Chain A
């Protein structure tokens, strides 16, 4: 499956009409970059999405939009092309969607062979690693826009991958700093049984050690992925959650590690003791919130909502960041080639304005984008980390996530 996006609305309408015909005659032609307008250099960006079977979220408010991430990339493409009018650069975006069980490596080959040097990857960690290894030594730079796995920034880091998605270490640190700033330092930790729950749990323990959190008790919720809604309703849950959280030593905040939403969203307002819930439910750490309006974000939210007809979510922002990083590299270097652009994006001169009150840049030791992290409840952001007082010798934002001295990453 592939879709074509290009700057002009008229052009895309024409393409919508013609692409199916062309595709019949010549299967690969849909992936060819646009012929550049006169005197314009073209920078072709790819978007590879590996579809994944996900459980239905507990709240219907949190069902993933179909164009999640992609819409963020598309609006960044529009931003790049508005600037490109003045710098004689044209950006295109081509999408490869890989069905569950499909061949992601083949999809990436297709993009690479048709001149896409920059490819956003929306895929789980293992797929991302396969993709990275398949283009090792080739002229392709990958942007990890989804996977939060710390190992992708540590022992499994790759030289041809930059991460605009924050990892669990950054998210847990950002949350921990806020909780410690609030003096809510006694934590009751509740974990699910899935590997990603344990990964988040590891990050929480690491943050506790770094910033002075104290885990007073840890419990596992032995639940399975049951049907998300039943006619019997919520009566049982109202009994179960207080019982499950009963008899805990005195604590300030419950931190839940339940990434697949087996039970986490049921905890707020149902704990035995009246305590706030944070972690994967309740107060959460994230790269973007649809009600974030600081530092010019209002304009971004307005533009996005007009374009996508929905709220902007973290994955949209992470994809926006990646496409804008390419755009910024192209504008500043005046080049459309991979090597100078990639060098600029990784270098000291790069500074992207990203509605966070400070420039965002890539860490040299693991390719992770350093960025402030939003701490938010469902309706509104509550704060933004790093919090005041968490000092760092170089940049306070490097108190979030894996810092250089503890990096196990050997980029290759």
Chain B
């Protein structure tokens, strides 16, 4: 009941909010992977309308645009491959040899290579995008999942869900140089834009670890408490930090909330009610809007970042999971 009422309010706020926005926001293209629907939904960030639904491989989860923005890389987990989707023609134009069950991926800041976590194999696979060839395999902990790359491109991170570690990998030598123990089942990792911190979510522990990227020590482990929500329902998955480093947003899974964190004080400011089982999130390049995937309500919540309000829910495909947004 609470959710229903709140979402109605959200929908109402949405129409008002969007109408009230005085300057028309730049239009970016938002891509959503639908894990159950085996498709990619394409949204317009200005109109929030669905422009296309593109069929892809089985169980698409992690997605990412190439640096030139021409291709969307799609982890088709149940097809054991990463598909290359041409965003102009909306056709699959190639595949990357990711190894079994790819879930999340990331790119070197130069645009190449691609780093893919292979949950089944305790490996990070490094793939040359131009050659479409595996150039290295780095043994990491059990069930690697989250993949992050430092802004200078020198450090690659893999989080392993059963070993409960963030592995620091040297991208020059592909050696694991350090391992930081974090809370149980670390699912996602992200560097701050200045590269000084690494944020890691722990789904089962219900925490976010903020790690000093230099000393590789945990600065703070941030917990969450929401009145009326059982602690075990709070399962952090995606996390994003604004470019100016002031705020972080954490998707809390079946708690159906996105936590807003003051990224300077490392304290929770607020919880935003979104759809059910919230997985991943992504900012528009100007950091004005945040798109959030809700796996169990088959929609995407759109958050106005400056006002900290959910402005709209957009129905997409079945079980939305990953989200990627164009640079233009």
Which of A79, A87, A359, A396 is in CB contact (< 8 Å) with B205? A359
Q: Is the CB of B101 within 8 A of A302?
A: yes
Residue on A nearest B179 in the bound complex, by CB: A86
Q: Which residues of B contact A353 (CB under 8 A)?
A: 161-162, 164, 184-185, 203-204
User: What separation, in Å, do the CA atoms of A117 and B122 have in the docked complex?
Assistant: 28
Q: Report the minimum CB–CB distance from A173 to chain B (whole Å).
A: 17
Q: Does A395 contact B (CB under 8 A)?
A: yes
Q: Which residues of A contact B141 (CB under 8 A)?
A: 82-83, 86
Q: Which residues of A contact B165 (CB under 8 A)?
A: 83, 86
Q: Is the CB of A359 within 8 A of B142?
A: no
Q: Report the minimum CB–CB distance from A287 to chain B (whole Å).
A: 17
Which A residues, 320 to 352, have Cβ-Cβ distances below 8 Å to chain B? Answer: 324, 328, 331-332, 351-352
Q: Is the CB of B119 within 8 A of A299?
A: yes
Q: Does B232 contact A (CB under 8 A)?
A: yes
Q: A296-B185, A351-B204 given as contacts; is B232 within 8 A of A82 (CB)? A: no
Which of B119, B120, B163, B183 is in CB contact (< 8 Å) with A82? B163
Q: Is the CB of A83 within 8 A of B120?
A: no
Q: Is the CB of B232 within 8 A of A79?
A: no
User: What separation, in Å, do the CA atoms of A303 and B123 have in the docked complex?
Assistant: 13
User: What separation, in Å, do the CA atoms of A353 and B232 have in the docked complex?
Assistant: 12
Q: Digit string of A49-67 for contact with B (CB within 8 Å is 1, else 0)? A: 0000000000000000000
Q: Report the minimum CB–CB distance from B21 to chain A (whole Å).
A: 38
Q: Is the CB of A83 within 8 A of B204?
A: no
Q: Digit string of A263-298 for contact with B (CB within 8 Å is 1, else 0)? A: 000000000000000000000000000000000101
Q: Report the minimum CB–CB distance from A319 to chain B (whole Å).
A: 16
Q: Is the CB of B164 within 8 A of A299?
A: no
Q: Which residues of A contact B142 (CB under 8 A)?
A: 79, 82-83
Q: Is the CB of A351 within 8 A of B120?
A: no
Q: Is the CB of A359 within 8 A of B204?
A: yes
Residue on B nearest A359 in the bound complex, by CB: B204
User: What separation, in Å, do the CA atoms of A358 and B253 have in the docked complex?
Assistant: 12
The secondary-structure label for the interface of chain B is: loop
User: What separation, in Å, do the CA atoms of A343 and B167 have in the docked complex?
Assistant: 27
Q: Digit string of B168-193 for contact with A (CB within 8 Å is 1, else 0)? A: 00000000100101011100000000
User: What separation, in Å, do the CA atoms of A397 and B101 have in the docked complex?
Assistant: 31
Q: Digit string of A69-100 for contact with B (CB within 8 Å is 1, else 0)? A: 00000000001001101110000000000000
Q: Report the minimum CB–CB distance from B271 to chain A (whole Å).
A: 19
Q: Which of B181, B205, B232, B235 has the most CB of A within 10 A?
A: B232
Q: Does B304 contact A (CB under 8 A)?
A: no
Residue on B nearest A306 in the bound complex, by CB: B120
Q: Which residues of A contact B122 (CB under 8 A)?
A: 82
Q: Is the CB of A86 within 8 A of B162?
A: no
Q: Is the CB of A358 within 8 A of B101?
A: no
Q: A299-B120, A358-B232 given as contacts; is B167 within 8 A of A351 (CB)? A: no
Q: Report the minimum CB–CB distance from A369 to chain B (whole Å).
A: 15
Q: Which residues of B contact A332 (CB under 8 A)?
A: 181
Q: Does B143 contact A (CB under 8 A)?
A: yes
Q: Is the CB of B163 within 8 A of A303?
A: no
Residue on B nearest A351 in the bound complex, by CB: B184
Q: Report the minimum CB–CB distance from B218 to chain A (whole Å).
A: 13
Residue on A nearest B77 in the bound complex, by CB: A298
Q: Report the minimum CB–CB distance from B201 to chain A (whole Å).
A: 13
Q: Which residues of A contact B185 (CB under 8 A)?
A: 296, 353
Which A residues, 334 to 387, have Cβ-Cβ distances below 8 Å to chain B? Answer: 351-353, 357-359
Q: A303-B120, A353-B185 given as contacts; is B230 within 8 A of A79 (CB)? A: no
Q: Which residues of A contact B100 (CB under 8 A)?
A: 302
Residue on A nearest B167 in the bound complex, by CB: A86
Q: Which residues of A contact B176 (CB under 8 A)?
A: 86
Which A residues, 237 to 262, have Cβ-Cβ distances below 8 Å to chain B? Answer: none
Q: Is the CB of A299 within 8 A of B101?
A: yes
Q: Report the minimum CB–CB distance from B313 to chain A (whole Å).
A: 23
Q: Is the CB of A83 within 8 A of B232?
A: no
Q: Report the minimum CB–CB distance from A13 to chain B (whole Å).
A: 20
Q: A82-B122, A86-B141, A358-B204 given as contacts; is B161 within 8 A of A296 (CB)? A: yes
Q: Is the CB of A359 within 8 A of B232?
A: yes
User: What separation, in Å, do the CA atoms of A144 and B60 have in the docked complex?
Assistant: 40
User: What separation, in Å, do the CA atoms of A303 and B121 have in the docked complex?
Assistant: 8
Q: Report the minimum CB–CB distance from B230 to chain A (whole Å).
A: 6
Q: Report the minimum CB–CB distance from B223 to chain A (whole Å).
A: 12
Q: Which residues of B contact A86 (CB under 8 A)?
A: 141, 163, 165, 167, 176, 179
User: What separation, in Å, do the CA atoms of A86 and B142 have in the docked complex?
Assistant: 11
Q: A83-B141, A296-B185 given as contacts; is B205 within 8 A of A331 (CB)? A: no
Q: Which residues of B contact A352 (CB under 8 A)?
A: 184
Q: Digit string of A381-412 for contact with B (CB within 8 Å is 1, else 0)? A: 00000000000000111000000000000000
User: What separation, in Å, do the CA atoms of A126 and B139 have in the docked complex?
Assistant: 44
* 26 CB-based A-B contacts, threshold 8 Å: A79-B142, A82-B139, A83-B162, A83-B163, A85-B139, A86-B141, A86-B163, A86-B176, A296-B143, A299-B101, A299-B119, A299-B120, A299-B143, A302-B100, A324-B162, A331-B163, A331-B181, A332-B181, A352-B184, A353-B162, A353-B164, A357-B232, A357-B235, A358-B204, A359-B232, A395-B230
* Beyond known contacts A353-B203, A395-B232: 11 more, CB 8 A cutoff: A79-B162, A83-B141, A299-B101, A299-B161, A302-B120, A353-B162, A353-B164, A357-B254, A358-B232, A359-B204, A395-B230
Q: Which 3 A-B pairs have the closest CB atoms?
A: A358-B232, A83-B163, A353-B185
